[in-house]
């Protein structure tokens, strides 16, 4: 969605405007079509975050189907789609059709951008809940998102994946889950942690893609799921959840289940329940169960180690320039690693980092990767899956 960029920033000082709602609003922001500019949608993302909303940003060049898959898996209250390429009359209805196919025709669609006034009645007649043409104020966008929030029902959909997404929402919010929800731990639960900026999101996206590629040839691998945590604001309780940006859902579609969640500190109160719900999710059609789960933590500091209590294998991601050899001897996050990942191996200082890690690794594996180029991903995947 595009809005007037001259809106005064003082209009949106950081205040929780959503504390009175049944639950924290979740909105999926995405840009359909060929528009390659995201400045406007980022302005909206920040305004929503600073109002207490949990914003899932799916990025540029989304298809109607990829947005529908994301909306279902993220269990959002509203989809906010931006249009800049004069294709709103085609892509808007296709998005609505996609949501229906995903078992979530109840999710309202808000559409913004360059929308001619004469087309607004046609879009609303097609089922678009709200339209925001260029010049709409940020306050109107925030209020529309607030208005979309309704009480969550425990029994949501006959579509197993849609119901899984709702079960995760309830568990994360500490609310009762529907009777009869199946629980089973996936065969492999792998934690990916490390400092902010280490490339964890890109690494997890590459690992999920590698799994999807291999499972096409080996159905015994099952499907792959990702739970990605991002920080929740201590001031507004809002959050910007942008990890799924790294995943090419236009290509992978439903072969990866991806869920973004906001968290304060290391409060993994519901994680074990979420893990078991993912493993117990019913299959549909010829789809395999979720046998592999990657959990990406918030950018972690030296003493943030709780993820180890919930996973079977922990990979700690590091990059060149993190400090001298003394840092390697300190207690904390480096102690929990079953595998060390030296990402951004094309950066200066990688040789020194590898040398220092090998000094402390003992029998633990050290793997070099350049996640942005796919370098080392196959080797790392084999290690995490127990194949090497």
At 365 the pLDDT is 96
pLDDT value, residue 147: 96
Question: What is residue 6's predicted lDDT score, i.e. its pLDDT?
Answer: 39
Report residue 170 as tokens: 């309830």
Q: CA 180, 184, 187 angle in degrees (round to 5)?
A: 160
Distance of CA 360 to the CA centre of its chain: 33
Helical (H) or strand (E) element with 99? helix 88-101
Closest C-alpha among 128, 294, 167 to residue 223 = 294
Quick check: 25 and 155 in contact, CB under 8 A?
A: no
In whole angstroms, how far apart are CA 309 and each of 22, 268, 304, 358? 31, 10, 12, 25
Residue range 188-384 in CATH 3.90.1150.10: no
d(CA 247, CA 244): 5
Instruction: Provide the angle, in degrees to the nearest 10, between the axes of the packed helices 200-215 and 377-384.
Output: 80
Cα–Cα distance measured from residue 70 to residue 157, given in angstroms and rounded to the nearest whole number: 16
Residue-wise DSSP of 149-179? --PPPSS--SSHHHHHHHHHHHHHTT-PPPT
Q: Which two tokens mark 333?
A: 């996050």
Q: What is the mean pLDDT of the chain?
A: 90
Q: Which residues are CB-neighbours of 63 under 8 A, at least 6 positions away?
A: 32, 250
Summarised one tens digit per residue, pLDDT across range 213-225 is: 999 999 899 999 9
What pLDDT shows up at residue 38? 76
Work out whether strand 223-231 and strand 290-296 pair parallel, antiparallel, or are unpaired.
parallel
Q: How many CB atoms lie within 10 A of CB 235?
A: 12
Residues of the chain predicted below pLDDT 70: 1-12, 35-36, 85, 285, 322-331, 388
For 133-146, letters b (16+ CB in 10 Å) and e give beebebeebbebbb
Phi, psi of 258 (to 5 degrees): -130, 125
Quick one: which of 12, 75, 15 has its CA closest to 227?
75
What is the predicted pLDDT for the residue at 134? 84
Domain residues of the chain, as ranges?
Answer: 9-147, 188-384
CB-facing half-sphere around the CA of 29: CA atoms within 13 A = 33
| Residue 244 zone, left/alpha/beta (φ > 0; ψ -120 to 50; rest) | alpha
Say how far apart CA 313 and CA 158 lie, in whole Å: 33
Query: What is the reported pLDDT for 12?
Result: 67
Helix axes 64-74 and 88-101, enclosed angle (nearest 10): 40
Q: What is the CATH code of the structural domain delimited by 9-147?
A: 3.40.50.280
Domains 9-147 and 188-384 share a fold: yes
Overall size of the chain counted in residues: 388
Q: What is the pLDDT at residue 36?
A: 63
């Amino acid at each position: 969605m595009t809005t007037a960029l001259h809106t005064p920033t003082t209009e949106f000082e950081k205040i929780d405007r959503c504390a009175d709602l049944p639950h924290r609003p979740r909105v999926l922001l995405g840009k359909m079509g060929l528009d390659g500019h995201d400045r406007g949608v980022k302005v909206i993302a920040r305004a929503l975050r600073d109002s207490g909303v949990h914003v899932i940003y799916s990025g540029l060049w989304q298809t109607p189907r990829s947005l529908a898959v994301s909306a279902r898996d993220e269990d959002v209250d509203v989809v906010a789609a931006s249009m800049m390429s004069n294709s709103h009359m085609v892509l808007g209805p296709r998005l609505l059709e996609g949501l229906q196919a995903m078992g979530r025709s109840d999710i309202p669609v808000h559409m913004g951008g360059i929308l001619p006034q004469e087309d607004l009645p046609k879009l609303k007649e097609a089922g678009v809940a709200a339209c925001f043409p260029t010049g709409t104020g940020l306050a109107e966008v925030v209020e529309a998102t607030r208005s979309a929030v309704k009480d969550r029902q425990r029994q949501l959909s006959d579509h197993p994946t849609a119901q899984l997404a709702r079960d995760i929402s309830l568990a994360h919010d500490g609310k009762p889950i529907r009777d009869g929800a199946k629980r089973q731990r996936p065969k492999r639960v792998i934690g990916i942690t490390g400092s902010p900026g280490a490339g964890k999101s890109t690494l997890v996206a590459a690992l999920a893609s590698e799994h999807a590629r291999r499972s096409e040839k080996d159905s015994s691998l099952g499907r792959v799921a990702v739970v990605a945590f991002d920080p929740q604001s201590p001031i507004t309780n809002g959050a910007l959840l942008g990890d799924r940006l790294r995943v090419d859902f236009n290509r992978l579609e439903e072969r990866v289940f991806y869920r973004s969640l906001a968290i304060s500190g290391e409060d993994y109160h519901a994680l074990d329940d979420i893990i078991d719900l993912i493993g117990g999710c019913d299959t549909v059609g010829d789809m395999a169960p979720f046998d592999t789960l990657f959990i990406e933590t918030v950018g972690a500091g030296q003493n943030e180690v709780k993820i180890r209590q919930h996973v079977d294998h922990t990979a700690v991601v590091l990059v060149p320039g993190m400090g001298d050899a003394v840092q390697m001897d300190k207690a904390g996050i480096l102690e929990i690693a079953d595998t060390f990942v030296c990402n951004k191996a094309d950066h200066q200082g990688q040789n020194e980092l590898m040398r220092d890690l090998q000094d402390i690794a003992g029998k633990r594996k050290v793997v070099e990767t350049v996640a942005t180029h796919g370098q080392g991903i196959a080797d790392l995947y084999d290690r995490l899956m127990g194949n090497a």
